[in-house]
Amino acid sequence: MDDHLDVLGLDAVRAGDATPEQRAHAEQCAECRAGVDAFHTLAAKLTPAPIDVPADVRRRILAPRRSWRPVAAAAAALLVGAVAWFALRPSIPGDVDRSGRVDIVDAYALAVRIRSGQLDAAYDFNGDGKVDDQDVDEIARRSVALR
């Protein structure tokens, strides 16, 4: 037989992936059958020996891992919310224009917001549950208070 199987063909026969023609050839050709046997031997030698893994290591590796994703997501959402709240709230009560101090310009800024319909509860500086001109007056009074 002149048309022997090549290396890939021999290994395909060993692994059971060969075509019917390759299998038929290997059954009839002693030289190729020897080659297939040699691949069986090689494959057996390359198969890793089982490792004796200590039970506690195996348990730790195979134990179902607790997922931290929901906790991390909640923490991240909380952090973003806190940052947004700190960024948007007046840092000093009455400091509407966030200049770092409370003065008459804040009263003006709040009056303008009220006239344009921005009634954010954060501007309820006198704590009466409403945002109106009395909050503006409250800021103005704080601005001129002698300390």
Partner 1 sequence: MKLLILVLTALALVPEQETRFVAIDLYADTGGRPLVAWQIELECNAKIVGVEGGEKPPYYDPAALQGGRIILASFTTEPNPPAGRVLVARVHLQETGKTDYTAKLMAAASPGGARIEPRIEIVRAGGK
- Residues 12-36, buried b or exposed e (16+ Cβ, 10 A)? bbbeeebeeebbebbeebeebbebb
For partner 1, give the closer residue by CB, 26 or 107: 107
Closest to 35 measured CA to CA, from 47, 25, 45: 25
- The single residue among 13, 32, 107, 131 that binds partner 1, judged by CB under 8 A, is 107
Look at the block and give the residue holding tokens 């390359």: 46
CB under 8 A: which stretch of 14-22, 51-59, 80-88, 138-146 binds partner 1?
Answer: 138-146
Task: Check binding of 104 to partner 1 (CB under 8 A).
Answer: yes
Q: Which two tokens stand for residue 125?
A: 């500086």
Binding mask 60-99 for partner 1 (x = CB under 8 A): -------------------------------------x-x
